[in-house]
Amino acid sequence: MADELSLFGAMLGEPDGQLGRLLEGMFTAQVTTALTRLGIPDQLADGPLTAAELAPRVGASADALPRLLTAAAAYGLVSQDGVGRYSLTPVGAPLRSDAAESAQDLTVGFLAPPMWASFGRLAEVVRNPAPVNPAAPGGVYAYYAEHPEESAYFVRAMGRTTEILVSQLAKIDFRPQLTGRIVDVGGSRGTLLAYLLQVLPDATGVLLDRAEALAGAPGYLAAAGVADRVELVTGDFLREVPEGDLHVLCQVLHNWDDEHVRTIVGNCQAASRPGGGLMVIEYVLPEDPQPSLANLLDLIMMLVVGGRERTRAELEAIIGPAGYHLVRDTPVTDVLPWRVLEFERD
């Protein structure tokens, strides 16, 4: 956002506009998302264009597009040269699909309509919380099932998040007993599983998820050089999971309430070979109240999928009775508040 411009800040008469900018988040997010959905950053990749030149390229109204572009200019995403031509700014450049660290997947995938609408219910849910069914009509899972193109954005955005996690995992010295059959439960395109197989060359893998989530897995695993060691399984981890020596649950449990978490962990334990283990990677809440990104993620889980982030003690209280005991807890907190919790069968 341009430092000197804040509509809500101006209305509030704030010298620095701090509260105004917080309130204005709904504008900035939607302007940024609309710009990306229309493909405008890609069209501006080769140089400045006028709104009249852009409109037919992106299928936009010749009247509405200039209004979006001037709002985007107010927020510093594009600039105008004084003769009606728009260019990407350094702030808007990451919205290009070919940018080195493209923000396109995150922008479209994480700001889909059901996610955005969920936050409109925040006060209502806090007053009278009711279980959120993400598969209900209009829910996030139903939405992505009906919109495969947007589902692909979401899967890639999740994959990028996991790539950030993977970049932090070098600090963990994986134990030799983790070199058998690794089952990545709900592992999408296999970002984490690919890393584990690369550092554990004697291991094999199983990737379990919904069909739409697995769509990008063959290409990703092939590019990582591990496709010949991975079995792809389309299924529902709430029903059963494949047999293995290590079951991995990465950013899965926070999507579910306690009852469903018990089912998922119980299914892993039932499919665990003698001496097997469970690796749980989650955004773990601090035990004592303190500012943490995990608290913001907890709101997302509550509103969008009916799940929650948990403390380590809360996770142990659910996982322990299923037949596991914690053997190692490794914080991986340089970027996000991840913890890698490793359990063994009792």
Domain at 336, CATH number: 3.40.50.150
Query: Is residue 138 a part of any domain in this protein?
Result: no
Q: Which of 96, 116, 146 is the last residue of a domain?
A: 96
Q: Please say if the pLDDT value at position 9 is more than 60.
A: yes
Q: Are 75 and 184 contained in the same domain?
A: no
Query: Is residue 289 a part of any domain in this protein?
Result: yes
Q: Are 54 and 203 contained in the same domain?
A: no
Q: Are 182 and 290 contained in the same domain?
A: yes
Q: Note the pLDDT of residue 178.
A: 63
Q: Are 270 and 183 contained in the same domain?
A: yes
Q: Are 334 and 217 contained in the same domain?
A: yes
Classified as helix, coil or strand, 91 is: coil
Query: Is residue 139 a part of any domain in this protein?
Result: no
Q: Note the pLDDT of residue 212.
A: 81
Q: Are 48 and 181 contained in the same domain?
A: no
pLDDT in tens, 121-176: 888 888 876 777 777 777 888 888 888 888 888 888 888 888 889 888 877 776 65
Q: Are 340 and 201 contained in the same domain?
A: yes
Query: Is residue 70 a part of any domain in this protein?
Result: yes
Residue 261 is part of which domain span? 172-345
Backbone angles phi, psi at 63, to 5 degrees: -85, -40
Q: Please say if the pLDDT value at position 266 is more than 90.
A: yes
Q: Which of 96, 124, 140 is the last residue of a domain?
A: 96
Q: Please say if the pLDDT value at position 103 is more than 70.
A: yes
Kindly state the percentage of the chain with pLDDT values over 70. 95
User: Who wins on pLDDT, 155 or 107?
Assistant: 107
**Residues 292-315: what's their mean pLDDT?**
92
Q: Are 77 and 184 contained in the same domain?
A: no
Q: Are 192 and 320 contained in the same domain?
A: yes
User: Who wins on pLDDT, 8 or 148?
Assistant: 148
Query: Is residue 305 a part of any domain in this protein?
Result: yes
324 confidence band (pLDDT: 50, 70, 90): very high
Q: Which of 63, 96, 129 is the last residue of a domain?
A: 96
CATH of the domain at 13: 1.10.10.10
Q: Tell me the H-state helices in the chain.
A: 7-12, 18-23, 25-37, 40-43, 51-58, 64-74, 104-109, 113-119, 122-127, 140-146, 148-168, 191-199, 211-214, 217-223, 258-270, 293-300, 312-319
Q: Determine whether 172 is exposed, middle or buried from the number of CB atoms within 10 Å of its CB (0-12, 13-18, 19+).
A: middle
Whether the Cβ atoms of residue 79 and residue 72 lie closer than 8 Å to each other? no
Distance, CA of 22 to chain centre:
22
Query: Is residue 229 a part of any domain in this protein?
Result: yes
Query: Is residue 146 a part of any domain in this protein?
Result: no
Query: Is residue 155 a part of any domain in this protein?
Result: no
Four-residue CA torsion sign, 154, 160, 164, 167: positive
Distance between CA atoms of 272 and 266, rounded to whole angstroms? 10
Q: Note the pLDDT of residue 15.
A: 65
Beta-strand ranges (E) seen in 198-286 are 204-209, 230-234, 244-250, 272-283
Distance between CA atoms of 264 and 237, rounded to whole angstroms? 6
**Residues 283-310: what's their mean pLDDT?**
90
For the chain, the average pLDDT equals 89
Q: Are 190 and 308 contained in the same domain?
A: yes
Q: Are 196 and 337 contained in the same domain?
A: yes
Q: Are 215 and 336 contained in the same domain?
A: yes
1 confidence band (pLDDT: 50, 70, 90): very low
Distance between CA atoms of 195 and 239, rounded to whole angstroms? 27
Classified as helix, coil or strand, 309 is: coil
Q: How many domains does the chain have?
A: 2
Whether the Cβ atoms of residue 112 and residue 150 lie closer than 8 Å to each other? yes
**pTM greater than the 0.75 cutoff:** yes
